[in-house]
Amino acid sequence: MKINLHQRMQWFGMSLISCLFAISLAHAQSVYPVKPIRLIVPFTPGGVTDTSGRYIADQLSTKLGQQIVVENRPGASGNIGSYQVASAEPDGYTLLLGFDGTLVINPHVFEKISFDTVKDFSPIGKIGDAVLILVANNNFPGKTVNDMIAISKKDPQGLSYGTSGAGSSPHIAGELLKQKTGANLVHIPYKGGGQAMTDLLGGNIPLVYTAVAGANQHIKSGRLTPLAVSSFQRSSSLPDVPTFIESGIKDFELSSWVGLLAPAKTPRPVIMRLNQALNEILASTEGKERLNAMGITATVGSPEKFSEQIKFDLTRFGAIVKNANIKAE
């Protein structure tokens, strides 16, 4: 088949464009970053989300050769700090430590929210999943999830369970448990997981839904009774605690994720440079061990895979919130 001059010119032009794109991609990845980067954490210092973000920021500083400055911007369940990043210049120098509670639950529980999770952010990559656990104080007569469900159904007033707040991931997990099993549970929102844990240890409430990291030390010291974890597999830090699925509750899987995002329209080469550096941290033995100690399972992945999970969870959690009629308090 003969190729005329016009077709040859088209082929040459397309090849030239591809080469130029590849060169510009390599150049952008090699020169970025040229100044310090801000990582906005939309919560107060000290929590598991903040701690994991600071570890990742420290490691990224080494990988990228520029300082990553962590700035805590708490307020409105993470909405304030998240909006700050959504409205920032999309140049790769303002990043968000994203949390599922803020990005995929808040849009359903707040009447008005100042950002669009899908339209206003460019996902970089998921850091990992924090396993959630249902724990009971030692005065509680039940030792398993099925014991708890049976006890709750016999109590006209229901069993109280505390969480870090209305619309939080543990709250969603508790509501999903109610919807799947018919358990008679009453949600008690606190202004943080620490307050809920204090009341549980003091015997003021029978149950708390929280991240494994917040309950681990009390379980191992014998002060709390673990009922089940919400992950698909058992937690490596608590291998003797069964999952809800193992306990007979079909398809009950819900973890709380944390990840990195940039403002929408951040250049693709910048996103890929950050994703590459993040994945190197998550794949390292040290990275896995450090995050695991925080109750987080490191997850290597692409921006596209993280984006797919965000969209999936927006739909999934939206249905749970609607059925439970959850509103921000």
Could you read off the pLDDT of 89-106 as tens digits, one per residue? 999 999 999 999 999 999
pLDDT of 4 reads 58
> Tokens representing 39?
């990582």
Q: Which residues contact 240 (CB under 8 A, 6 or more apart)?
A: none
Q: How many CA atoms lie within 13 A of 229 on its CB side?
A: 27
- Helix 48-64 crosses helix 285-293 at what angle (to 10 degrees)? 160
pLDDT tens per residue across span 103-119: 999 999 998 999 999 99
pLDDT tens per residue across span 295-318: 899 999 999 999 999 999 999 999
Q: Is the pLDDT of residue 23 over 50?
A: no
Mean pLDDT over all residues of the chain?
Answer: 90
CB atoms within 10 A of CB 25: 15
If you average pLDDT over each of 189-193, 278-282, 321-325, which comes out highest?
Answer: 278-282
Name the band, by pLDDT with cuts 50, 70 and 90, for residue 191: confident
Better pLDDT: 326 or 161: 161
206 with 159: CB under 8 angstroms? Answer: yes
* Alpha carbon distance 169, 186 (integer Å): 16
- Provide mean pLDDT across the span 24-44: 79
Better pLDDT: 24 or 269: 269
pLDDT of 17 reads 55
* Alpha carbon distance 54, 307 (integer Å): 23
**Cα separations in angstroms, 80 against 72, 83, 105, 288, 327:** 10, 5, 15, 30, 18
- Helix 268-283 crosses helix 48-64 at what angle (to 10 degrees)? 110
Q: Is the pLDDT of residue 18 over 60?
A: no
pLDDT of 12 reads 55
Please state the three-class secondary structure of the chain as a single string: CCCCHHHHHHHHHHHHHHHHHHHHHHHHHHHCCCCCEEEEECCCCCCHHHHHHHHHHHHHHHHHCCCEEEEECCCHHHHHHHHHHHCCCCCCCEEEEEEHHHHHHHHHHCCCCCCCCCCCEEEEEEEEEECEEEEEECCCCCCCHHHHHHHHHHCCCCEEEEECCCCCHHHHHHHHHHHHHCCCEEEEECCCHHHHHHHHHCCCCCEEEEEHHHHHHHHHCCCEEEEEECCCCCCCCCCCCCECCCCCCCCCCCCEEEEEEEECCCCHHHHHHHHHHHHHHHHCHHHHHHHHHCCEEECCCCHHHHHHHHHHHHHHHHHHHHHHCCCCC
pLDDT of 22 reads 47
pLDDT of 25 reads 46
pLDDT of 148 reads 97
pLDDT of 301 reads 97
Name the band, by pLDDT with cuts 50, 70 and 90, for residue 49: confident
Is it true that 34-129+256-324 and 132-229 share their CATH fold? yes
Q: Is the pLDDT of residue 24 over 70?
A: no
pLDDT tens per residue across span 125-164: 999 998 899 999 999 999 999 999 999 999 999 999 999 8
Q: Return the CATH number of the domain spanning residue range 34-129+256-324.
A: 3.40.190.150
pLDDT of 32 reads 97
CATH class as words, domain 132-229: alpha beta
- Output the pTM of the full model: 0.80
Q: Could you tell me whether strands 121-130 and 256-263 are parallel, antiparallel, or unpaired per DSSP bridges? A: antiparallel
pLDDT of 46 reads 74
- Provide mean pLDDT across the span 55-79: 94
For the chain, the structural domain boundaries read: 34-129+256-324, 132-229
Q: Which residues contact 270 (CB under 8 A, 6 or more apart)?
A: 28, 32, 91, 92, 262
